[in-house]
Amino acid sequence: MTKMEFFGPGLSNDQWERINDLAVSLQPAQALWLSGYFAGVGSAARGAGASDQVAVLDRAPPDPAPVPAAKTRSLAILYGTETGNSRGLATTLAAAAKQQGIVAAVSDMADYKIRRLKDEQDLLVITSTHGEGDPPQSAVGFFEFLEGHKAPKLPDLRFAVLALGDSTYEKYCEGGKRIDRRLEELGASRLEPRVDCDVDFEEAAPAWIEAVVARLAAKRSEPARVNAVVAEPVAAAFDKQNPFPATVIDNVVLSGRGSSKETRHIEFSLEGSGLRYEPGDALGVVPRNDPAVVDTVLDSVKLAADASVVVRQKPSTLGEALSSAFEVSAVTPRFIDHWAELSGAAALAALRGPDRAEARAAFMRAHHVVDVIRRFPVSGVDAATLLRGLRPMQPRLYSISSSLAAASDEVHLTVGTVRYDLDGQPRAGVASGFLAKRAAPGALVPVYIQSNPHFRLPPDDAAILMIGAGTGIAPYRAFMQEREARGANGRSWLVFGERNFRSDFLYQTEWQSLLKDKVLTRMDVAFSRDRTPKAYVQDRLRQNSRDVYAWLEEGAHVYVCGDAAHLAPDADAALREIVAAESGCDAAAAAEYLAALQRDHRYQRDVY
């Protein structure tokens, strides 16, 4: 110890010299114990008076108490997810921390008690981005609180953020970037820099996990050894990393003659898989690229399909790699960077950099991989070099349109086939085109179950209001099959929209049967192209404003399923207007009304 440079209150010079002489001879543990001892002396003196003070000082001091260990900082792990990837990584992160003796509290942002934020010490956040920079649907409330004026200052918080995203979107990983910026604004300090992961996060995410856990464990005498293996906990043997080869039972076109689009009903057998699901869950489908597209790419780079390559440390052929292991349609920033370097094309180089996001996004919408290869040819490119610029094939998620209670060992999908023209040529969606063209009955399709805990049926006696358009009707078919099988007595109301009554009334006879049997209480439809002006589901909601609000006030659970660009915001706006009109409140109060429903899990959305 060293001498103190301040003079204690009321001490004589002699007392002060004696204290300083003692101080320089003490070890830290002794000084800590002695501070507690004199605190007790002072307390006794205040309580008993000066006459008792001498008696206290004359007692033999007790044996030194053990020095308390430094308090371990608390660790919270928050995740925001649409497809389950963030949830799986959060579980992996918690397991890696536990290896170092660090116990973490893992929470979904949807369930996190926001009042706890001000008391957190170490916070690790893993979040995806929905669409163009939005948070995952279930995490909207947390984002609104954190970015709002009620968020607390966090000067004692340490944090790190792992952002998941899709680089084909202009606002890539914006959800994680928003959290990262806001925590810094609130005074928190970073444990590690933010890491942004594309859809193939299997390398970047484990490296981030290793880095943050090593930082948290840095004060230990032994260096941290972290083995972060990305894995999603599932009950069945088949999962995203090991999909089940499901046999196609049936594949029929639902839309009628003359429809302006094609919608399919596809049934798969799950027999022998052990896979189980609940209404509201999604089916992950691992597609294969169109053989014609693969051949065009090979021809454009003058490479043979049987050229040898290594994919995920396993030998393969280039043709098979382009068919099943890599995306060969959508252009990504990675491919732009890669092909710009190979070709030396100034037009591609001009698209690089954060300030070129808008131009880059427009270019990606207007080109496929083969278009770029043809427009900016590169001679002599080898197979391995070609693959380095491509993104690994990603599964596609589809809302399940069946219930195991009604279709044991089966899973059904309702799929809209994506077809369009680009650069004067017909194109198709990778997965929807695969299912439409190459998933005939008897074919094997790799699939897995993706749980969706934020789109669940309430208790059987609760009322449900189901709002959907197009293939957004899929989970409601599952809901009603489940409720019919369970004999649920809660009321149910479906508001469904499509283009034309005659050609696009999906599952029409099933809905009519459910209405007849009183399993479905009420159904309102909007076929936008059958009348002028066009009518959509939000118009039907407004037309039945009083009934909608009455259902909400009586405890109904509200569901919205469909496209994120139009249906979700339009339906939300209609619900806010209904609440304001029927209750007489202002817009802010109506928005809070819906926010409260979301917090209570009575307003759930599954949008894409």
Choose the CATH number for 464-607 among 3.40.47.10, 3.40.50.80, 3.30.565.10, 3.40.50.300. 3.40.50.80
Cα–Cα separations (whole angstroms), residue 126 to 77, 287, 606: 8, 27, 20
| Domain 75-216 -> CATH class | alpha beta
Phi-psi region of 118 (alpha: psi -120 to 50; beta: other; left: phi over 0): alpha
Q: Is the pLDDT of residue 3 over 90?
A: no
For residues 561 and 603, is the Cβ–Cβ distance under 8 A? no
Q: Given pLDDT bands bounded at 50, 70 and 90, which one contains residue 22? A: low
How distant is the alpha carbon of residue 355 from its chain centre? 26
pLDDT of residue 228: 46
First to last CA, the chain: 64
Q: How far apart are CA 451 and CA 395, in angstroms?
A: 14
Confidence category of residue 170, pLDDT binned at 50, 70, 90: confident
Where do runs of H (alpha helix) occur along 117-196?
140-146, 174-185
Picking from 396, 434, 438, 397, the residue whose alpha carbon sits closest to that of residue 417 is: 434
Q: Among 148-162, 232-246, 340-354, which is the least confidently predicted range?
A: 232-246
Across 475-483, average pLDDT:
98
* DSSP 8-class letter at 117: G
Give mean pLDDT, residues 275-290.
98
Q: Do 464-607 and 75-216 have the same topology in CATH?
A: yes
State CA 63 to chain mean position distance: 56
Percent of the chain, pLDDT > 90?
Answer: 76
- In sequence order, what are the residues at sequence separation of 6 or more whose Cβ sits closer than 8 angstroms to the Cβ of residue 441? 248, 249, 250, 251
CA gap 215, 2 in Å, rounded: 32
Pairing verdict, β 396-399 and 522-527: unpaired
Query: Does the structural domain 244-287+395-450 have CATH classification 2.40.30.10?
Result: yes
Question: In the prediction, which pLDDT does 438 show?
Answer: 97
**The CATH number of the domain covering residues in 291-388:** 1.20.990.10
> Could you tell me what percent of the chain has a pLDDT over 70?
85
pLDDT band at 172 (very low <50, low <70, confident <90, very high): confident
**What's the pLDDT at 226?**
45
Is the pLDDT assigned to residue 215 strictly greater than 90?
yes
* Tens-place pLDDT, residues 229-275: 444 444 448 999 899 999 999 999 999 988 999 999 999 999 999 99
In the chain, where the domains are located: 1-68, 75-216, 244-287+395-450, 291-388, 464-607
Give the phi and the psi of residue 3 in degrees, each rounded to 5.
-65, 145
pLDDT, residue 26, reads 52
Instruction: Tell me the pLDDT band of 21, cut-offs 50, 70 and 90.
Output: low
Does the pLDDT value for residue 60 go beyond 80?
no
The phi and psi torsions of 138 (rounded to 5 degrees) equal -75, -15
pLDDT for 23: 56
Instruction: Tell me how far CA of residue 373 lies from CA of 65, 281, 304, 362, 377, in angstroms.
Output: 75, 39, 16, 17, 5
* pLDDT (tens digit per residue) in 400-421: 999 999 999 999 999 999 999 9
Task: Answer whether residue 442 shows pLDDT above 60.
Answer: yes
Closest CA to 256 of 434, 499, 60: 499
Count the Cβ atoms, other than its own, within 10 Å of residue 352: 14
